Chains A and B, each alone.
Chain A
């Protein structure tokens, strides 16, 4: 089966960002901890491919290192969301209508009543700002997304006759959930996981922008934008470049997710926002 254009473009963009982040561990064109005030606010040139910022640091190098922060935060947050949300969703579906289902679903509704940013604000209010707290905030918000999705995918499966056959064989609900239900909702989870990953990158950028995410000296795309804001009138490239980096990462993952959806099962509906 041939892969669709969106998988190819999306996969290409995503792997470009991932590669940049990985290479930044061993090599960047310039050392980003080194200030170079005489060369500050340069526009893109042969030496500094994407120019320099107000401290004279190489923007290309900072984008590479910033990708690391974005990807790490989003990846761990999706991990938290899946790791807790999927088992909760499976459990709720296996006890449909029971108290466990009721509590899990009402708990989900409750988290949804706190927009992710509000959760981040609450956490920052207690623990102070930082990348870890951004991960927790985004991760908590991911839990109900995966719990709802898993439950919604699992409920119709529980009515199917092959589940009845497994129950006739005496298998426990937990075993049926992992052996029969999980493989049949996996496509759903892969597609939504990709989308949540891209949303995580957006959320991390937003949190860093308002100072609730990664703290200096850790570079991040969101904070590069915050630094650029006061200089946007005379150095617009400072704002343009990190923005384009965010857009390519998110666009790439979204295209990949949608392409995977069409490839695996076009009937899957993803949740956004």
Chain B
């Protein structure tokens, strides 16, 4: 018996085709995952089932929820189905809740609009549901507002809202993408338990293949609005037939060919007992300001040619540390020394040229009103010996070629490039002054897996050619593992573990490192899956 069956669904928004001939089904108690890169149409498939599409959308085909075709029934019937028969969980828990209503009101609302219960009954049910999703009433009373909760807790509220009426189908659109890895593991466990307990069908949208492989009974792989392959999880993993599926899995577990480290004898960067405090908003009018310690007594070195990783969850202080190393923020105590001189916000601009940085966001990293050429020239501001005359052309052209772009790209504006190309430009900007140290601050986190694999290869390639030293900051353990020699693990402003990358990952010492590694979803070894099936 199928719960949801989507047949030959095609969708266009205005003249733009989004989905073509999408066909799949979900049974009760079954977890079906749709995966693919950005632009594959996976989220639009979810919204089609909810019938919450943009006004300009036109659909063809059929979406049957048991015996009713959601594409033909009137809007008022759809309102009765949404929240009652189909629940939905969204990606961004920080904005998915109404900031001016309590969590109790918001969960109870789902109950009130679909049943004849009284307000107090609805609140009792809401309390029970919040307790079920892990927000017990003694610590999270109904009167809490969303801003008083963390991202993971808010996502639990959204889940409670979605399942309050025990719907037969739950749709989760990237439910853990915005969350830290340990929180992600707990939310995924919760969803799995709920599916079993309520015998719901779960349609899960995610870009993360490791999550998919771990959790789904069946997998649907999408690209450019079409399903390229679908099947039972273990079968699909064992016998991938479509080249795109294979490429996607290869890219997800991509291992770069990192050259052996060639380390110099003296450290080029040394951080000694660095401590950075932030003033907190005053709690009382005339009380002395209190401070939050973002970075606490952190020490480490980077040697010439060394590739160091820094992992930690959001809020652990890694961004603050990055800014301090770049000389953008002062330290309260301790020192940072780079290339023999002390780093501070007041250091002369000429000293800044030896350390460069690549940021996370390929869209926010560039002034949209500048051409590539002036973006690439910016690091030469106050450079002690900038190129002269015709040398400029060689420098710009060389930098672009080095990252796999062309000379002629220098005259374009940044919006003319894709996300992956932009990240190449960001790397070109970082390399152009021939720095000895580069900070990669979540530099591949915003990229699709196939692009991420290419950028990681580029980094390995560059470090082979230039004997680069870098600090690679990321929340993604698998990426850090493949591009670094040594790794630091950071928790609440402190370095809790420090060591050779392979040994930290295979034999973690600190309990926090262990919990991080345990929580990170891992792609199964395809050989093992094949053998198990055979």
Is chain B in direct contact with chain A in the complex (CB below 8 A)? yes
How many of chain A's residues have a CB under 8 angstroms from any CB in B? Answer: 14
Are B368 and A184 within 8 A (Cβ)?
A: yes
Are A164 and B357 within 8 A (Cβ)?
A: yes
For residue A161, CB closer than 8 A to chain B, the reply is yes
* Docked complex Cα distance between A170 and B359 (Å): 17
Contacts of B189 in A (CB 8 A): none
Closest chain A residue to B350, Cβ basis: A170
Interface centre among B355, B367, B378, by most chain A C-beta atoms within 10 angstroms, is B367
Smallest CB–CB gap between B163 and chain A, Å? 35
Are A162 and B381 within 8 A (Cβ)?
A: no
Q: Which secondary structure dominates chain A's binding surface?
A: helix
If A168-B328, A169-B381 touch, whether A161 touches B349 (CB-CB below 8 Å) is no
If A169-B381, A170-B382 touch, whether A161 touches B352 (CB-CB below 8 Å) is no
* Docked complex Cα distance between A160 and B364 (Å): 6
Contacts of A170 in B (CB 8 A): 348-350, 352, 381-382
Contacts of B323 in A (CB 8 A): 164
Interface centre among A168, A169, A183, A184, by most chain B C-beta atoms within 10 angstroms, is A168
* Docked complex Cα distance between A171 and B353 (Å): 12
* Docked complex Cα distance between A162 and B352 (Å): 16
Q: Mark A153-166, 1 if CB is under 8 A from B, else 0.
A: 00000001110111
Closest chain B residue to A182, Cβ basis: B369
Are B429 and A165 within 8 A (Cβ)?
A: yes
Are B359 and A169 within 8 A (Cβ)?
A: no
Are B368 and A161 within 8 A (Cβ)?
A: no
Are A161 and B381 within 8 A (Cβ)?
A: no
Smallest CB–CB gap between A166 and chain B, Å? 6
> 8 Å CB contacts to A: which residues of B341-377?
348-350, 352, 355-357, 359-361, 364-369
Contacts of B356 in A (CB 8 A): 168
For residue B326, CB closer than 8 A to chain A, the reply is yes
Closest chain B residue to A186, Cβ basis: B369
* Docked complex Cα distance between A165 and B364 (Å): 10
* Docked complex Cα distance between A162 and B368 (Å): 9
Contacts of A183 in B (CB 8 A): 367, 369
For residue A180, CB closer than 8 A to chain B, the reply is yes
Are B360 and A180 within 8 A (Cβ)?
A: no
Closest chain B residue to A179, Cβ basis: B367
Q: Mark A177-205, 1 if CB is under 8 A from B, else 0.
A: 00010011000000000000000000000
Are A165 and B359 within 8 A (Cβ)?
A: yes
Contacts of B355 in A (CB 8 A): 168
For residue A5, CB closer than 8 A to chain B, the reply is no
Are B381 and A184 within 8 A (Cβ)?
A: no
| CB < 8 Å neighbour of A164 from B328, B348, B368, B429 | B328
For residue A269, CB closer than 8 A to chain B, the reply is no
For residue B104, CB closer than 8 A to chain A, the reply is no
| CB < 8 Å neighbour of B359 from A164, A171, A180, A184 | A164
Supplied contacts A164-B326, A165-B378, A184-B367, 20 more A-B pairs, CB within 8 Å: A161-B365, A162-B364, A162-B365, A164-B323, A164-B328, A164-B359, A165-B365, A165-B366, A166-B378, A167-B328, A168-B326, A168-B327, A169-B379, A169-B381, A170-B348, A170-B349, A170-B350, A170-B352, A170-B382, A180-B367
What are 27 A-B interface contacts by the 8 Å CB criterion? A161-B359, A161-B364, A161-B365, A162-B365, A162-B366, A164-B323, A164-B326, A164-B357, A165-B359, A165-B366, A166-B378, A167-B326, A167-B328, A168-B327, A168-B352, A168-B356, A168-B357, A168-B379, A169-B349, A169-B352, A169-B378, A169-B380, A170-B350, A171-B349, A171-B378, A171-B381, A180-B367
Among all A-B residue pairs, the 4 with the closest Cβ atoms: A170-B349, A161-B359, A161-B365, A169-B381
